[in-house]
A and B are shown apart, each in its own frame.
Chain A
Amino acid sequence: MSKTPTDIFKQLQQYEVTVPANLWEQLRIALFEQDEQSSLHKLQMLEVPPPDHLFEQVMEEVEDLRLKEETSKLTQFELAPPVLLYDRLKQKQQPATVWTLFNYKRRFFYYAAAILLFMLAVAIAFRISFTKEKTDATADAPKQNQSVSPVSDTATVVTTPVQTKTAVAANKRTVYLNSGIKEKFYMDVPSVFIGRRRVPVYNNDLLFSFTSMSFSEGRSVFKEKNKPVIVKVDDYTNIRVSDFMSKQLSDVFRTKRNGKPAHAAKRAKARINNWQKADRKAFDKSKTKSPHDIIDLTETIF
């Protein structure tokens, strides 16, 4: 009967010899330590350590190689980006700005200049609108520095025929409407001085101009009791406002605690308006009275 290899190996197993435990240690010593002149030991003395970071470099190379290999595989799956994407990226791209102190200063001055220009424009706009209002209010007040050629009144009067009473009445008053008088009329009063304060005058009407002042200005001008108010009109004319009138004018600027005009102020202004109406009625339309005449004036005002 022939024996199989398996049978043979099973029979050999009976003849197995156990290796002693210290056999490998003895072999090591015999090979590497007992004999210092051995070839292996000589080679060990010539051992050279590798440079620093070599291991990391090698690993990087290996990793790069590995990445390249992996990415090279990805090129098979490459996709082209949309055409518009590149253009949008280009548009969004901005150069980096390095902010220095100089940049901040320059911007500050630009902003400050813009604000100042804006304020100047607003001031000019206000000034123009105020001047326009004043021009409208004094629309036909005679303007300064314009000469007027005198009328040859004598010749006119001489050639006038003998007038009947009706004709006299018709010619007696010639009313020049505001739009008709544009020439300079000497000693027009554009403003007066009360103390050091300059007060604008509208239509040569002092009373109207004083009652039209702002509340703060009016109170400061007419507030002081027992102190006469002197109105300097021009080099020839300084009017001394009586205490009674000064009190009336100060009443025009009385206010409540909330700053609104008091009822007394409204009454005072209405009273002054009534006086003006009475004066106009007495002298403007009168054919026989003149405010220049002392008797006419006294009999009218009393």
Chain B
Amino acid sequence: MILLILLKQFFKLQRSVCVLLFFAVAGVCIPVYAQESNAVQLKGTGRVSTLTITYELQIASAKKRGHAESYNGSIKTIFIQDGKVRNRLVALMRIQSLFYFQSAIQGADTIISVKETGKDRIVNRFSNTEWDDLNRKYRNKRLAFFSDSILILNYTCYRAVVSLSDGKEITVFYTTAIQNEMLQLTEPAFAGIPGVVLQYTYQNKEATVVYKATNVTTDAIDPAVFQLPAAK
């Protein structure tokens, strides 16, 4: 109100113009403030039960390969809510989701992989044993933590290196401001990391592949995101 009066007096503007200016300024400022507030709120939250992380896949290679480039720029979104996780990879080449529903009974989790692309949708159902078998390379991994850090989405992220028994290494940057153990269930490479990973990198002889978080939010997720196709 005061702002309106000041505007009117200073610029000798009509009342309607002042009202429009006020709402225009408010319309810009409020979302920015809300976004910053959200980030501040996440930083101080710690453990969250609802989490959505969006990663962008970047591939750097001296030699361009079409198959690889079809994944370059793709997006991986991880939805976590109420003990359920959906890991969805959207690339030019394919769209595929991995569902992980934690069970109260140990060893009875529901793990389903669904290839959404193509005329024939392929659904793979894993038992816990099969899931462990799929991720056996991470069984004897070693974790090394470092003090250097970078800023990702206004989160201070510390470096860690996951070393596998065959010599492969994944470099991760994680933040301790957000905690959610469900993420580690779908990404066994992150098991033992004391926080949410916002960037991870793998490098071999030919290329460097980086997953970097572009968005983190704790907004409620539509339960339909976790719905599975019914069996035939």
Interface residues on chain B, size class: 35 or more
* Chain B 99-131 per-residue mask, 1 if CB under 8 angstroms from chain A, else 0: 001010100111011111111111111110110
> A-B pairs with the 6 shortest C-beta distances?
A240-B73, A153-B110, A301-B68, A242-B72, A180-B232, A302-B206
The residue in chain A whose Cβ has the minimal distance to the Cβ of B66 is A275
Q: Are A173 and B124 touching (Cβ within 8 A)?
A: yes
A-contacting 9-mer, from B3-11, B38-46, B88-96, B146-154: B88-96
Q: Are A176 and B73 touching (Cβ within 8 A)?
A: no
Instruction: Say yes or no: is A215 at the interface (Cβ < 8 Å to chain B).
Output: no
In the complex, A168→B134 CA distance in Å? 13
Total of A-B residue pairs, C-beta within 8 Å: 212
Selected contact of A295 from candidates B121, B202, B232, CB within 8 Å: B202
Chain B neighbourhood of A151, CB < 8 A: 228, 230-231
Q: A151-B231, A203-B118, A244-B64 are in contact. Are A236 and B103 (CB under 8 A)?
A: no
B-contacting 9-mer, from A15-23, A108-116, A216-224, A277-285: A277-285
Instruction: Say yes or no: is A262 at the interface (Cβ < 8 Å to chain B).
Output: no
Instruction: Say yes or no: is A248 at the interface (Cβ < 8 Å to chain B).
Output: yes
A-contacting 9-mer, from B19-27, B29-37, B219-227: B219-227
Selected contact of A157 from candidates B95, B103, B118, CB within 8 Å: B103
Q: Are A236 and B75 touching (Cβ within 8 A)?
A: yes
Q: Are B73 and A239 touching (Cβ within 8 A)?
A: yes
Chain A neighbourhood of B109, CB < 8 A: 157
Q: Are B230 and A204 touching (Cβ within 8 A)?
A: no
Q: A172-B126, A236-B54 are in contact. Are A275 and B93 (CB under 8 A)?
A: yes
B contact patch SS = mixed
The residue in chain A whose Cβ has the minimal distance to the Cβ of B90 is A237
Q: Are B222 and A186 touching (Cβ within 8 A)?
A: yes
In the complex, A147→B109 CA distance in Å? 23
Query: Which residues of B54-71 are within 8 A (CB) of A?
Result: 54, 56, 59, 61, 64-71
Q: Are A172 and B73 touching (Cβ within 8 A)?
A: no
Query: Which residues of A149-200 are within 8 A (CB) of B?
Result: 149-151, 153-154, 157-158, 160, 163, 168, 171-178, 180-181, 183-189
The residue in chain A whose Cβ has the minimal distance to the Cβ of B131 is A290
Q: Are A186 and B202 touching (Cβ within 8 A)?
A: no
* Chain A 119-144 per-residue mask, 1 if CB under 8 angstroms from chain B, else 0: 00000000000000000000110100
Interface residues on chain A, size class: 35 or more
Instruction: Say yes or no: is B158 at the interface (Cβ < 8 Å to chain A).
Output: no
Chain B neighbourhood of A189, CB < 8 A: 95, 116
Instruction: Say yes or no: is B139 at the interface (Cβ < 8 Å to chain A).
Output: no
Q: Are A172 and B230 touching (Cβ within 8 A)?
A: no
Q: Are B230 and A154 touching (Cβ within 8 A)?
A: no
The residue in chain A whose Cβ has the minimal distance to the Cβ of B91 is A239
CB distance from B66 to the nearest CB of A (A): 5
Instruction: Say yes or no: is A67 at the interface (Cβ < 8 Å to chain B).
Output: no
Q: Are B204 and A183 touching (Cβ within 8 A)?
A: no
Selected contact of A204 from candidates B56, B59, B117, B231, CB within 8 Å: B117
The residue in chain B whose Cβ has the minimal distance to the Cβ of A282 is B67
Q: Are B227 and A186 touching (Cβ within 8 A)?
A: yes
In the complex, A283→B135 CA distance in Å? 15
Query: Which residues of A233-286 are within 8 A (CB) of B?
Result: 233, 236-242, 244-245, 248, 271-272, 275-276, 278-280, 283-284
19 inter-chain pairs at a CB distance below 8 angstroms, sorted by A residue, are A139-B119, A154-B105, A175-B123, A176-B122, A176-B231, A186-B225, A233-B90, A236-B75, A241-B92, A283-B115, A287-B134, A290-B98, A292-B186, A293-B135, A294-B189, A294-B209, A295-B164, A301-B67, A302-B65
Q: A204-B117, A299-B204 are in contact. Are A175 and B66 (CB under 8 A)?
A: no
In the complex, A234→B40 CA distance in Å? 26
Instruction: Say yes or no: is B175 at the interface (Cβ < 8 Å to chain A).
Output: no
Chain A neighbourhood of B228, CB < 8 A: 148, 150-151, 153
Q: Are B119 and A271 touching (Cβ within 8 A)?
A: no
